[in-house]
Structure 1
Amino acid sequence: MKVIQYSQEPETRFDNDMVKGVSGRVVIGKADGAPNFCMRVFELDSGGFTPRHRHDWEHEIFFHAGQGEVWQHGSWVPVKAGSVAFIPGNEEHQIRNAGDGRLTFVCLIPSGPPEL
């Protein structure tokens, strides 16, 4: 069993032409012996965004804090603390912070793909 504060896990920063102001942490994954899923926590700075991309695997997202938008089928869908999103495999998607503070969300993916 593992019980921690997510901020105890090492943070990886992403900041380039395709992604801006993003921090990611693997909070449960292969290193913990989790055979089926990986849980990551992402924080997007104000004005931050993930890359617009697609991949074979699904993921589930719980928005914990802040205000943001999810790119879905060619338009932006607003999200806020308490919102959830299911992104099927091979669906183009992107997340951006639409608020003044940090946007924090938990993202689950199946084991197998890169954890971060």
Structure 2
Amino acid sequence: MKIMEYTAVEPTHFDNEVAKGVAGRVLVGKADGAQNFCMRAFEIAPGGHTPRHAHAWEHEMFFHTGEGEVYGNGQWNPVGAGCVAFVPGNSEHQIRNTGEKPLTVVCLVPSGAPEL
């Protein structure tokens, strides 16, 4: 069993032409013995965004803090604290922070997907 504060995990920072102001953490993954899923947390700075992309695996996302939008089904959809999103495999998607505080999202991916 693993119990800890998520901020104890050192973040990986992404800040380039495709991802801006993103800090990602693997909270539970292969190193913890997780065989079916990887749990990740992303903090997206105000004005920041993840890359727009698609891949074979699905995402389950829970938005913990902040305000933003998720691109899916050809449009931007507003999200905030307490919202959930399901992104099916092979669906183009992107997250962007439209607020003035960090947007924090917890994301699950299956074990075959890259952890970060």
Same topology, TM > 0.5: yes
- 2:35 maps to 1:35: yes
Identity %, equivalent residues: 64
CA distance in 1, matches of 2:7, 2:88: 28
Aligned to 2:60: 60
> Is the partner of 2:54 in helix, strand or coil?
coil
CA distance in 1, matches of 2:3, 2:93: 31
Aligned to 1:11: 11
Aligned to 2:47: 47
Q: Can you give the 5+ residue segments of structure 1 that lack an aligned partner in the other structure? A: none
Aligned to 2:81: 81
Q: Which amino acid aligns with 1:110?
A: P
User: How big is the alpha-carbon RMSD for the aligned residues of Structure 1 and Structure 2?
Assistant: 0.4
Q: Can you give the 5+ residue segments of structure 2 that lack an aligned partner in the other structure? A: none
Deviation >6 Å, runs of 4+: none
CA distance in 2, matches of 1:87, 1:113: 14
Q: Which amino acid aligns with 2:54?
A: R
Q: Which amino acid aligns with 1:3?
A: I
Cα deviation digits, residues 2-21 of structure 1 (max 9, x gap) = 00000111110000000100
| TM-score of the aligned structures, taking structure 1 as reference length | 0.99
> Is the partner of 1:57 in helix, strand or coil?
coil
CA distance in 1, matches of 2:20, 2:46: 10
Q: Which amino acid aligns with 2:73?
A: H
Structure 1 residue 104 displacement after superposition: 0.3
Aligned residues: 116
Cα deviation digits, residues 37-94 of structure 1 (max 9, x gap) = 0000000000000000000000100000000000012210000000000000000000
> Is the partner of 1:7 in helix, strand or coil?
helix
| TM-score of the aligned structures, taking structure 2 as reference length | 0.99
- 2:2 maps to 1:2: yes
Structure 1 residue 22 displacement after superposition: 0.1
